[in-house]
Amino acid sequence: MYQWVQFNRAIINARDEPLADYRKYRRLHLLIGDSNMSPYANALKIGTTACVLSLLEEGRLPRNLVLADAVQSTRDISRDPTQRWIVRLENGKTIGALDVQWEFHQLAQKYLHNSSAETNWLLENWGFVLETIPHNRQALIGGVDWITKKWLLETFVESEGLSWDDPWLQSIDLEYHNIDPRRGLFFGVTSGKRIAEWNNSVRRPGATHVPPANTRASGRARAVAFFQSCNFPYVINWDSIACDSRDFLVMGNPFETYNDEVEHFLAKPRATNTGNDDADR
């Protein structure tokens, strides 16, 4: 855990910044896994996190699986060429990282199964991935990002006759994460049937232009469109809109649209800014 994450990339950002009404909400800010490209991987990441948090709230977490150094273990796993992924526990014992996940999966299966359709999907696919990684990783191409990128790089090295220290591979590594569908290498990957069908079923191309209709993103989007069409200085944050540094609209509930409040806020008379065109936007 660390507070100033711009300088020290921990797993959890400990800064108390709920970006909502602090009397009602707290925010868990996880810094790990931001670079996922696969919708399937993102669903597993968010779903497994939700399951572990539910187990934590219910007091069901195993006390014998605490890592001695979680950050170092994460680094060791990502850099282990043998792919044995052995981690050291707080009690001094060692265990495979997949075995740790199986322990959590079994607890989630025992206590959370049938709590929702989404949870059942997560438990089934979490188990599928854990079973498949040791024996048939090709089946996870397009669904697990590190497997997909490793396959791409290995294919490229073989076809071009490169060595693994060739700087060309660094650009390939980065281009995998390009979110432009016309350039990002992930979007050209052919996935297996199970993963391809799921990835395609959840794609929402319109979401880049149309915000969720049932959250404060709806009101924020209306404000963005308004301010882009005029010459007012403005700042829009997760939980607030500010104009000319004196006029604020607070949006403390993430699950309200604030559409009416935003319309009223934008309708206020304001003098057009004819000064500095480089206002904070």
* pLDDT interval class at 207 (50, 70, 90): confident
Closest CA relative to residue 265, chosen from 226, 229, 231: 226
In a domain, 62, yes or no: yes
Residue 275, pLDDT > 60, answer no
Residue 20 within a domain: no
Q: What is the pLDDT of residues 220-247, one digit of tens each?
A: 999 999 998 887 888 999 999 998 767 8
Q: How far apart are CA 148 and CA 39, in angstroms?
A: 13
249/240 Cα distance (integer angstroms): 5
The pLDDT value recorded for residue 279 is 42
Within the chain, strands assigned E span: 12-13, 29-30, 86-88, 94-96, 234-237, 240-243, 247-250
Q: Which pLDDT belongs to residue 278?
A: 46
CB crowding 183-216: b at 16 or more within 10 Å, else e: eebbeebebeebbbebbeeeeeeeeeeebeeebb
Same domain, 100 and 198: yes
SS3 42: helix
User: 220 and 192: one domain?
Assistant: no
Q: Determine phi and psi for 243, rounding to 5 degrees.
A: -130, 135
Number of domains in the chain: 2
Residue 270 tokens read as 């304001």
**Cα radius of gyration (the chain):** 23
Residue 167: half-sphere exposure toward Cβ, Cα within 13 Å: 0
The predicted pLDDT at position 277 comes to 46
- Please write down the HEC assignment for all residues of 89-107: ECCCCEEEHHHHHHHHHHH
Tokens matching residue 198: 């799921």
**Mean pLDDT, residues 130-137:** 95
Report if residue 272 sits inside a domain: no
Phi, psi of 154 (to 5 degrees): -65, -40
User: In terms of domains, do 93 and 187 share one?
Assistant: yes
Residue 279 within any structural domain of the chain? no
95 and 147, same domain (yes or no):
yes
Instruction: Say whether both 168 and 193 belong to one domain.
Output: yes
Final residue in a domain of this structure, among 187, 203, 219: 203
Q: 103 and 1 in contact (C-beta within 8 Å)? A: no
Average model confidence (pLDDT) across the chain? 90
Residue 83's H or E segment, with its range, is none
Q: Is residue 114 part of a domain?
A: yes
Q: Which two tokens stand for residue 176?
A: 């995998």
Say whether both 149 and 106 belong to one domain. yes
Q: What is the pLDDT of residue 149?
A: 95
Is residue 143 located within the same domain as residue 50?
A: yes
pLDDT band at 86 (very low <50, low <70, confident <90, very high): very high
CA distance 137 to 131: 10
| Same structural domain, 174 and 247 | no
Which of the pair, 10 or 250, is modelled with greater confidence?
A: 250
In a domain, 22, yes or no: no
pLDDT at 10: 74
Do 176 and 187 form a contact (C-beta atoms < 8 A)? Answer: no
Interval 167-198: pLDDT, tens: 999 999 999 999 999 999 999 998 888 898 88
pLDDT tier at 8, thresholds 50, 70, 90: low
Same domain, 151 and 174: yes
**57-71, 171-185, 186-200, 263-277: the lowest-pLDDT one:** 263-277
pLDDT at 272: 62
Hey, what are 115's tokens? 């709590």
Of 156, 182, 203, at which residue does a domain stop?
A: 203
Residue 90 located in a structural domain: yes
- Same domain as 167, residue 37: yes
- Integer Cα distance of 10 and 211 in angstroms: 30
Cα(87)–Cα(77) distance, integer angstroms: 8
Domain that holds residue 83: 32-203
- Distance CA(144)–CA(11), nearest Å, equals 20
Query: Residue 208 has what pLDDT?
Result: 82
**What are 137's two structure tokens?**
């990783």
Give the type of residue at 16.
D
Which residue, 203, 224, 243, sits at the end of a domain? 203
| pLDDT (0 to 100) of residue 74 | 92
- What pLDDT does 281 receive? 44
Give mean pLDDT, residues 106-126.
Answer: 97
pLDDT-based confidence at 206, cuts 50/70/90? confident
Is residue 5 situated within a structural domain?
no
Q: How many CA atoms lie within 13 A of 16 on its CB side?
A: 3
In this structure, the answer to whether residues 131 and 168 fall within a common structural domain is yes
Do residue 197 and residue 243 come from a single domain?
no
Query: Around Cβ 251, how many Cβ atoms within 10 Å?
Result: 25
Least confident of 32-41, 43-52, 54-63, 101-110: 32-41
The pTM of the full predicted model, rounded to 2 decimals, is 0.84
Residue 12 clears pLDDT 90, i.e. is over it? no
